[in-house]
């Protein structure tokens, strides 16, 4: 209490003490000044700074960072005011633009209890099934919804957006035909952004994309692997593709359909039309447009191609008691992305948004969805009828669902008139407009549209008066006859209380950051502060169509500019693209930038990518997707890249060297001393350095990719920059580049964009994401984080993240071997605990420790990556010393449990680790046949007596699940059978 004593003595007041007090860094960064010295001292340093100096190599240590804006950080109150101002600068017009984005009513119960609920949004990807059954069920609902509605039996648990989903489907077609047919045809009734993404993506796969009018499609080359059509088309037409599909199949061509979930509730589903793959967006199922994202895209296919599906898939299995339990299916398949021949790199997807969309379907049920669809369809019908009566424009004759295509004398003048009435229409060309309807549009809006189209003349009718005359033009053969969403889950929770409880019932099974630290190495599960999250649901940010005129989005644009500049300062780069919407998408985009750069210089042959063996699986996958040849280099005993080997590889491939991919600090949690040398070697041999920014949390304010020598880098904003993990997405993976690469940053076919700040010239590589600025709606999270922390707060964060890791490593080192350290014996912001030895001494594997940690109320660290048989711990700066100690206590206690096996005091096959986790159902069984006690199984640490998070199932059997792959909800009859079998 020195401060208050001071006041009592002198009673004079410093200006500093009068500054607003609701400062943020002390809420985000955990360790107090006192704790910092205690912890540094326990690591053998006299202060935090000396620990940092010993840890970060001098050669790359940069001067202190300085922002041109927000340098000293806004307080929480100032930040919220600022964000309210930005939100109010965005003008919300009614959107009739369509093109894959529709306004929707987010059911408030879902908004508050999922989207605004940290117990949902701070969850990690459900790798640890036993403490993730809630979101696993919700994602299974999502998959069931997609398969039911599309009419195809297999779905994954979301992809990044509709455009990339189409590109993934294209890659699947290529794969299905074993890469032997290199042409992919896209009907020009697809959304322009979908077409461009596929074109860009085709480059790396050496595929030829041909766009074609539907009527002119030509398979005669014999080289066509697939064709993509849209249903309904981007301009609204609803066509019967049955013959089209037959014809394609007759030519051995796979058919991909981009479609719309709402339309499919009333239209014959693609599965019944014979489509092989269906893709689309679940956005309009209760997820705000958010100026482009995040939203869940879907991909459904037949059983035949399920093992070629990209992305995560949830499936059923059983737990240690034989009871049904869910988990991520075919996880080993994810390893495929390591391969040089990878066709997908997707990792972080859109779990939170998939959950929202699934809950929307749960809330409305099949009848509710159909009612919405019919209303939307009806409103479109009223417009069409009215325009026909008005006679000032011509409505296209084809059947439509929600989008009316209109030929008119001057599309721009009509759009302008609409604009003045705060309505955005789509201008297709100078004589064509489309008007798309969604559930938020009203009859009043249609009346306003009539006025606009009447061009000042009186409108002799009202929308309401016309309604009874409207006749749907959809041919009866295209009307949906099959039922869908018949599972009770979609037919039970239709009142708010029922849905509220269903959401909370699922939530209660899932561990999140609301419970305890989630020390996942490489994932940076730090605080996702409420002030950062609040603007995400400000209507001024949520209700904007990504293709709204840019002048309506001044608030967003200011934020993009400032964020781009701030990220440049942080990373030492010259320009940023905010388009990639996940880390892996950023890797892909960054490598494509490098590829475009080489090509622009005539170096078409530069296609070798050197990647250390310790790299994250997405690295080689991304390189493969860019058509690069991967050359692996090994690491030395200390975990550092083998520089001699690297040098040799670079020199060997000198002529064709395209890039190095390197993570810094390394995936082993070490600041490699040789990193500047490594960069130099690559540059000397004509290559570019791609840095994987996943570990940026150990760099901010201390060094930077640009300073170190990288040419391009992606940032996982969902790691270092506080976007919550959402149970497996959303994320954002913007890329920063040096000046020479800036011209190549991605653009967009509808809204032109590029580097921020903008480079002098632009030669964009193409399009990476469906929306111009990726998942714009979640950028406020990173923006507010940076703006509230200021340069010093951020630098402190890096230091404390490193301190926390070293403190834990110190506490654990006498109990477990710590793999890899820097030259001065310290680790970076994360470290690896080696468990491999226990396999021999106690029959214990990493998984056993991971599952036992659940009994202690913790989520396991990253398991068996980057080194099999280890755990990688990353505490982050937001975890308090008390929490670190609690986690260390758990680990030390588990070590003692292992020792009991080693000593022969516990059975090697039947012990508290092998039996873990222990759900209540197990612990309360009347007969207890375990050799250890119930109480010890349940309460191995004292804090668990005060409050304990309970795993909801016993250990889940992955092998069983993959052998009996079931990836949708079972029909009730079958459910009952399964449960009977399980309890028998």
Ligand X SMILES: Cc1ncc(COP(=O)(O)O)c(C=O)c1O
Give contact residues for ligand X (rule: CB under 6 A): 347-348, 522-523, 582-584, 616, 618, 663, 667, 692, 694, 716, 731, 733
**Long-range Cβ contacts of 534-537 (<8 Å, 24+ apart):** 534/80, 534/83, 535/80, 535/83, 535/86, 535/87, 535/780, 535/781, 535/784, 536/115, 536/777, 536/778, 536/780, 536/781, 537/111, 537/115, 537/116, 537/288
Nearest to 410 by CA among 389, 433, 390: 433
CA distance 771 to 546: 6
- Residues in 100-129 that interact with a copy of itself by CB under 8 A: 105, 107-109, 111-113, 116-119
- Residues in 348-387 that interact with ligand O=C([O-])O by CB under 6 A: 348
DSSP SS3 for 245? helix
DSSP calls for 170-221? HHHHHHHTTT---EEEEETTS-HHHHHHHHHHHHHHT-EEEEE-GGG---TT
Least gap, CB of 881 to a copy of itself (angstroms): 10
Nearest to 808 by CA among 876, 709, 906: 876
Least gap, CB of 929 to a copy of itself (angstroms): 14
Least gap, CB of 520 to ligand O=C([O-])O (angstroms): 8
Least gap, CB of 85 to a copy of itself (angstroms): 12
Q: Identify the residue among 57, 381, 540, 709 touching a copy of itself (CB under 8 A).
A: 381
- Max intra-chain CA distance, the chain: 93
**Which residue minimizes CB distance to ligand O=C([O-])O?**
347
CA distance 768 to 589: 7
Binding status of residue 931 toward a copy of itself by CB under 8 A: no
**Residue 694 binds which of ligand O=C([O-])O, a copy of itself, ligand X, none (CB < 5-8 A, kind-dependent):** ligand X
Q: Identify the residue among 110, 258, 347, 844 touching ligand O=C([O-])O (CB under 6 A).
A: 347
DSSP SS3 for 48? helix
Given the structure tokens 């497996």, which residue do they identify? 728
Binding status of residue 925 toward a copy of itself by CB under 8 A: yes
CA distance 18 to 21: 8
Pairing of strands 608-612, 657-663: parallel
Binding status of residue 885 toward a copy of itself by CB under 8 A: no
**Which helix (H) or strand (E) segment is 231 a member of?**
strand 224-231
Least gap, CB of 865 to a copy of itself (angstroms): 25
Q: Identify the residue among 62, 247, 431, 472 touching a copy of itself (CB under 8 A).
A: 472
DSSP annotation of 112 reads I
Site string for a copy of itself, 406-445 (x = CB under 8 A): ---------------------------------xx-xx--
**Residue 125 binds which of ligand O=C([O-])O, ligand X, a copy of itself, none (CB < 5-8 A, kind-dependent):** ligand O=C([O-])O
**Which residue minimizes CB distance to ligand X?**
583
CA dihedral 934, 935, 940, 944 (to 10 degrees): 120
**Residue 442 binds which of ligand O=C([O-])O, a copy of itself, ligand X, none (CB < 5-8 A, kind-dependent):** a copy of itself
CA distance 388 to 386: 5
**Residue 666 binds which of a copy of itself, ligand X, ligand O=C([O-])O, none (CB < 5-8 A, kind-dependent):** none
Q: Identify the residue among 43, 54, 80, 313 touching a copy of itself (CB under 8 A).
A: 80
Least gap, CB of 190 to a copy of itself (angstroms): 28
* Binding segment toward a copy of itself, per CB under 8 A, in 9-17, 352-360, 425-433, 847-855: 9-17
Task: Tell me the C-alpha to C-alpha distance, in Å, between residue 801 and each of 23, 786, 879, 890.
Answer: 20, 16, 9, 20
Least gap, CB of 580 to ligand X (angstroms): 9
CA distance 417 to 550: 17
Binding status of residue 261 toward ligand O=C([O-])O by CB under 6 A: no
Site string for ligand O=C([O-])O, 514-543 (x = CB under 6 A): ---------x--------------------
Give the residue with the Cβ less far from ligand X, 582 or 912.
Answer: 582
Asked if 187 contacts 339 with a C-beta cutoff of 8 angstroms, the reply is no
Binding status of residue 813 toward a copy of itself by CB under 8 A: no
CA distance 300 to 306: 9
Give the residue with the Cβ less far from a copy of itself, 252 or 475.
Answer: 475
Give the residue with the Cβ less far from ligand O=C([O-])O, 125 or 403.
Answer: 125
Q: Identify the residue among 125, 133, 622, 806 touching ligand O=C([O-])O (CB under 6 A).
A: 125
Q: Looking at the DSSP assignment, which residues form a beta bridge with residue 426?
A: 434
Give the residue with the Cβ less far from ligand O=C([O-])O, 328 or 713.
Answer: 328
DSSP annotation of 641 reads B
- Residues in 307-336 that interact with ligand O=C([O-])O by CB under 6 A: none
Integer-rounded Cα Rg, in Å, for the chain is 28
Bond before 294 cis per omega within 30 degrees: yes
Least gap, CB of 326 to a copy of itself (angstroms): 13
- Which of 827-863 are b and which e, b meaning 16 or more Cβ less than 10 Å from the residue's Cβ? bbbbbbbbbeebeeebbbbbbbbbbbbbbbbbbbbbb
Q: How far is CA 738 from the centre of its chain?
A: 26
Asked if 138 contacts 358 with a C-beta cutoff of 8 angstroms, the reply is yes
DSSP calls for 735-786? EEE-GGGGGGS---SSS----BSPPSS-------SSSTTSSGGGHHHHHHHH
CA distance 529 to 512: 14
Asked if 73 contacts 25 with a C-beta cutoff of 8 angstroms, the reply is yes
Task: Tell me the C-alpha to C-alpha distance, in Å, between residue 554 and each of 69, 78, 548, 551.
Answer: 18, 19, 11, 6
Binding status of residue 85 toward a copy of itself by CB under 8 A: no
Least gap, CB of 446 to ligand O=C([O-])O (angstroms): 46
Binding status of residue 663 toward ligand O=C([O-])O by CB under 6 A: no
Give the residue with the Cβ less far from ligand O=C([O-])O, 403 or 528.
Answer: 528
CA distance 611 to 593: 17
Q: Identify the residue among 935, 964, 971, 974 touching a copy of itself (CB under 8 A).
A: 935
- Residues in 502-561 that interact with a copy of itself by CB under 8 A: 504-505, 508-509, 513-517, 527, 529-531, 533-534, 539
Binding status of residue 895 toward a copy of itself by CB under 8 A: no
Triad 645, 646, 651: Cα angle to 5°: 100
Nearest to 519 by CA among 888, 962, 243, 206: 888
Q: Identify the residue among 91, 182, 333, 375 touching a copy of itself (CB under 8 A).
A: 375
Binding status of residue 189 toward ligand O=C([O-])O by CB under 6 A: no
**Residue 667 binds which of a copy of itself, ligand X, ligand O=C([O-])O, none (CB < 5-8 A, kind-dependent):** ligand X
Q: Which two tokens stand for residue 382?
A: 């009223």
Least gap, CB of 95 to a copy of itself (angstroms): 15
Binding status of residue 770 toward ligand O=C([O-])O by CB under 6 A: no
Q: Which residues bind ligand O=C([O-])O (CB under 6 A)?
A: 125, 347-348, 523
């Amino acid at each position: 209490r020195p401060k208050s004593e001071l006041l009592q003595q002198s009673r004079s007041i410093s200006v500093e003490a009068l500054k607003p007090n609701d400062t943020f860094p002390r809420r985000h960064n955990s360790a107090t000044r006192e704790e910092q010295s205690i912890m540094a001292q326990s690591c053998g340093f006299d202060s935090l700074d000396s620990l940092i100096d010993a840890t970060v190599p001098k050669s790359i240590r940069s001067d202190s960072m300085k922002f041109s804006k927000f340098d000293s950080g806004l307080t929480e109150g100032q930040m919220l005011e600022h964000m309210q101002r930005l939100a109010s600068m965005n003008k919300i017009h009614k959107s009739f633009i369509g093109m894959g984005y529709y306004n929707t009513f987010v059911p408030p119960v879902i908004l508050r209890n999922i989207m605004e609920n940290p117990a949902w949004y701070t969850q990690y990807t459900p790798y640890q099934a036993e403490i993730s059954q809630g979101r696993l069920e919700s994602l299974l609902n999502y998959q069931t919804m997609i398969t039911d509605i599309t009419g195809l039996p297999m779905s994954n648990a979301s992809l990044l957006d509709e455009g990339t989903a189409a590109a993934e489907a294209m890659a699947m077609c290529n794969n299905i035909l074993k890469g032997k047919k290199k042409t992919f045809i896209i009907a020009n009734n697809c959304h322009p952004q979908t077409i461009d993404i596929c074109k860009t993506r085709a480059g790396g796969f050496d595929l030829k994309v041909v766009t074609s009018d539907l009527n002119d499609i030509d398979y005669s080359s014999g080289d066509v692997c697939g064709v993509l059509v849209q249903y309904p088309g981007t301009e609204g037409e609803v066509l019967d593709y049955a013959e089209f599909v037959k014809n394609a199949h007759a030519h051995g061509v796979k058919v991909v359909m981009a479609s719309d979930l709402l339309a499919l509730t009333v239209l014959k589903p693609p599965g019944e039309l014979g489509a092989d793959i269906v893709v689309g967006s679940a956005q309009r199922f209760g997820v705000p447009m958010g100026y482009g994202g995040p939203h869940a895209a879907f991909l459904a296919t037949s059983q035949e191609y399920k093992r070629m599906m990209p992305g995560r898939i949830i499936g059923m299995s059983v737990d240690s008691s034989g009871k049904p339990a869910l988990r991520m299916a075919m996880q080993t398949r994810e390893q495929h992305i390591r391969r040089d021949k990878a066709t997908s790199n997707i990792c972080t997807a859109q779990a939170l948004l998939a959950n929202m969309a699934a809950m929307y379907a749960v809330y409305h049920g099949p009848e509710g969805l159909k009612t919405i669809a019919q209303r939307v369809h009806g409103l479109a019908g009223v417009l069409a009828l009215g325009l026909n009566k008005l006679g000032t424009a011509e409505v296209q004759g084809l059947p439509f669902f929600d989008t009316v295509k209109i030929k008119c004398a001057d599309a721009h003048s009509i759009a302008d008139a609409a604009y003045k009435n705060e309505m955005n229409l789509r201008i297709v060309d100078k004589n064509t407009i489309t008007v798309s309807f969604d559930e938020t549009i009203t009859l009043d809006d249609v009346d306003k549209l009539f006025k606009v189209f009447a061009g000042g003349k009186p409108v002799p009718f009202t929308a309401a008066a016309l309604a009874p005359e409207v006749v749907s033009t959809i041919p009866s053969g295209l009307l949906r006859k099959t039922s869908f969403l018949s599972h009770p889950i979609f037919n039970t929770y239709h009142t708010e209380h029922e849905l509220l409880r269903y959401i909370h019932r699922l939530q209660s099974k899932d561990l999140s950051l609301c419970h305890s630290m989630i020390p996942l190495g490489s994932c940076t599960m730090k605080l996702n502060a409420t002030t950062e999250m609040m603007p995400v649901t400000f209507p001024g940010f949520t209700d904007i169509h990504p293709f709204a005129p840019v002048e309506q989005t001044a608030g967003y644009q200011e934020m993009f500019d400032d964020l781009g500049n701030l990220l440049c300062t942080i990373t030492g780069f010259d320009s940023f693209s905010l388009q990639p919407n996940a880390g892996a998408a950023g890797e892909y985009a960054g490598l494509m930038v490098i590829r475009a750069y080489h090509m622009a210089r005539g170096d078409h042959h530069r296609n070798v990518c050197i990647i250390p063996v310790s790299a994250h699986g997405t690295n080689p996958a991304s390189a493969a997707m860019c058509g690069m040849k991967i050359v692996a280099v090994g690491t030395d005993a200390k975990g550092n890249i083998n520089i001699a080997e690297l040098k040799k590889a670079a020199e060997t491939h000198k002529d064709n060297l395209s890039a190095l991919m390197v993570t810094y600090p390394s995936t082993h949690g070490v600041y490699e001393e040789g990193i500047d040398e490594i960069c130099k070697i690559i540059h000397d041999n004509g290559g570019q350095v791609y840095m994987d920014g996943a570990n940026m949390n150990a760099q901010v304010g201390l060094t930077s990719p640009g300073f170190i020598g990288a040419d391009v880098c992606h940032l996982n904003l969902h790691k270092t920059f506080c976007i919550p993990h959402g149970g497996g997405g959303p994320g954002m993976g913007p890329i920063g580049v040096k000046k020479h690469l800036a011209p190549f940053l991605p653009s967009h076919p509808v809204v032109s964009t590029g580097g921020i700040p903008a480079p002098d010239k632009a030669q964009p590589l193409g399009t990476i994401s469906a929306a111009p600025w990726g998942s714009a709606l979640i950028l406020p999270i990173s923006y507010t984080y940076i703006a509230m922390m200021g340069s010093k707060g951020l630098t402190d964060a890096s230091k404390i993240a490193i301190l926390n890791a070293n403190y834990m490593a110190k506490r654990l080192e006498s109990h477990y071997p710590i793999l890899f350290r820097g030259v001065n014996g310290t680790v970076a912001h994360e470290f690896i605990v080696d468990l491999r030895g226990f396999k021999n001494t106690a029959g214990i594997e990493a998984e056993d420790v991971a599952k036992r940690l659940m009994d202690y109320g913790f989520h396991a660290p990253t398991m068996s990556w980057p080194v099999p048989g280890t755990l990688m711990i990353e505490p982050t700066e937001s975890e308090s010393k008390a929490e670190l100690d609690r986690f260390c206590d758990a680990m030390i206690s588990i070590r003692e449990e292992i020792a009991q096996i080693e000593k022969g005091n516990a059975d090697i096959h039947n012990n508290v680790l092998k039996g873990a986790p222990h759900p209540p159902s197990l612990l309360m069984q009347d007969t207890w046949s375990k050799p250890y006690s119930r109480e010890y199984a349940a309460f191995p640490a004292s804090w668990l007596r005060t409050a304990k998070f309970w795993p909801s199932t016993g250990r889940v059997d992955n092998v069983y699940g993959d052998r009996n792959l079931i990836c949708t909800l079972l029909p009730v009859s079958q459910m009952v059978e399964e449960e009977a079998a399980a309890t028998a």
